[in-house]
Structure 1
């Protein structure tokens, strides 16, 4: 499938939730299509977006909307107790619990406008896993109501790609939430081209995300939280500062623990740990060591008693390995020069 086709598929899929919600509010006119024979399952449809032709995706989207309109057996009312979250979570906890309270109130008052999507649990009979719609499921669970769902039949790979495609149309996910989701797709063995399609990003952006989530441990990201006002540049800077200090992770965890009882939101938690990594008064900032092409090799921290070099990528690691291999020769040269001076 061509790169252009993938973008079109992502766009078609990303619009589904918004179009479906507008349709249920009476804002979109959809021709009535007689549903197929009664069944509680809908084919993978748009969930298999990265693997199907554009015309098929559009046809399935229209059929799915028509099924919802006609109520032709496509929807199920599931007990929330038999529904589990996706094994690949894509959201971090909200800073403002009031936002979820309002969301839950709207479902209590107006009902669930858009069904969630689920699949049968791959290892537990009689249970389901969420493909997407976690907030709607959580709201229904807290309200003690069944959740309206559409069941689809998909693999683990298609599940994470489907979540990512659906995320592409959502404006409220922070940069680090998207990066953390990319890391989970990466860890699940999803191919880079599918991650590009799922998150509507290119190779350079995935490289930047990897630079962050391979440097900043997931437990630290999760403790900091969504940080909605913190964009890519400051997360990249944060990762660089971690690479520049041998004690960075220990310092960050201590700082977060010391502020665990405070009322800081996630943006402030991020800024607090970023500030904790700033050089102390009188301490020099790391010096970047560049190669002949101007590419960054390592960050160098020097004092009268200590020298530290830290790498961010494979090139830097190769340089550190080279320096390590050269140490015996440097020791020999140093000893010879010192002996000559003393003679």
Structure 2
């Protein structure tokens, strides 16, 4: 469903217009009589589709704002946002739209291969808010190529102060995975090649499961993400799993979840447990000694049959071995 928003037309997309969006209408035509024929219903549906198509075509020509059913608008296949179940800012955003209306329109394009549906260049949160409130999405419809859509999406990202560092890196990484050329990514991100390489390095170093657990972490910048990336490189899979399963993550906002995982990965990997008892062999494979460990100490038993006199020799060398050990510890 598409409906033109009443008001003066403009040459470019409005950015600060504020109107209260009405609830989604139950239908595009008055209630049908009880005995409406199948032919009448078909004609009504065809007229409704043609009217919606005319509205969209007119909006594309003059960049006017129209109202769309948010259920017909799909996010861009290349994600920029990192989902966060504890996003209090989104709740405040919804309340603002409830009270003041949707100030800025979204930008969408007719979705290729899906007649009647739209793909969002920017305005995902506006679409989610419209769904929550049961209102139409105010949007500008333009015919965009894939490259134009990405550049529009990236340009909007640059203007959004609430997009975190990791979300920018995530967006760049998703474009690489989708096979987008580096020069297009740089243009979409509005950045130089060196900065783009830095974003991509961070995106590649943070595993998806770590990113989804942490979320967007709006207050965390590049240096701390690089620190986390370094710790992930040397951490064992068990350490990462333990960090992601920590009870300290429950109920915490995204920035605090980052701090919990960063701290959990600061510890050195656990030492591999040594066997409590082991047999020592010489170069010929002969067992010349047995070492037994306990909480109180270590016992070494030599085999006099394999190495006669070695036990006495070892005992005589112990003072020098102890001195060398202490010297090594400083």
**Hey, what does 1:271 align to over in structure 2?**
259
Q: How does 1:244-323 map to 2 (within 5 A)?
A: 244-245=234-235, 247=236, 249-259=237-247, 262-280=250-268
RMSD: 3.1
Give the Cα separation in 1 of the matches to 2:259 and 2:229. 13
The answer on whether the counterparts of 2:56 and 2:141 sit within 8 Å (CA) in structure 1 is no
Give the Cα separation in 2 of the matches to 1:135 and 1:142. 10
Match of 1:158 among 148, 151, 154: 148
The answer on whether the counterparts of 1:88 and 1:184 sit within 8 Å (CA) in structure 2 is yes
TM-score w.r.t. length of structure 1: 0.59
1:238 positional shift? 1.4
The answer on whether the counterparts of 1:75 and 1:148 sit within 8 Å (CA) in structure 2 is yes
* Corresponding residue SS for 2:268: coil
Give the Cα separation in 2 of the matches to 1:173 and 1:236. 18
Give the Cα separation in 2 of the matches to 1:281 and 1:240. 13
1:79 positional shift? 1.1
Instruction: Summarize deviations over 1:185-210 as a string: whole Å, max 9, x none.
Output: 11122222222222222222222222
Instruction: Summarize deviations over 1:278-300 as a string: whole Å, max 9, x none.
Output: 233998xxxxxxxxxxxxxxxxx
The answer on whether the counterparts of 1:40 and 1:151 sit within 8 Å (CA) in structure 2 is no
1:101 positional shift? 2.4
Q: How does 1:15-54 map to 2 (within 5 A)?
A: 20-22=14-16, 24=17, 39-42=57-60
The answer to whether structure 1 residue 242 and structure 2 residue 260 are counterparts is no
**Hey, what does 2:176 align to over in structure 1?**
186
Q: How does 1:98-109 map to 2 (within 5 A)?
A: 98-109=88-99
1:97 positional shift? 4.1
* Corresponding residue SS for 1:183: helix
**Hey, what does 2:34 align to over in structure 1?**
none
Q: How does 1:19-98 map to 2 (within 5 A)?
A: 20-22=14-16, 24=17, 39-42=57-60, 67=62, 74-94=64-84, 96-98=86-88
Number of matched pairs? 229
For the structure 1 residues 236 and 149, does the alpha-carbon distance in structure 2 shift closer, same or farther, using more than 3 Å as the test? same
Structure 1 window deviating more from structure 2 (192-201 vs 136-145): it is 192-201
The answer to whether structure 1 residue 123 and structure 2 residue 113 are counterparts is yes
The answer on whether the counterparts of 1:90 and 1:178 sit within 8 Å (CA) in structure 2 is yes
The answer on whether the counterparts of 1:91 and 1:173 sit within 8 Å (CA) in structure 2 is yes
* Corresponding residue SS for 1:90: coil
Give the Cα separation in 2 of the matches to 1:259 and 1:156. 42
Give the Cα separation in 1 of the matches to 2:99 and 2:270. 59
Pair member with larger Rg: 2
Give the Cα separation in 1 of the matches to 2:254 and 2:136. 32
Structure 1 window deviating more from structure 2 (152-161 vs 259-268): it is 259-268
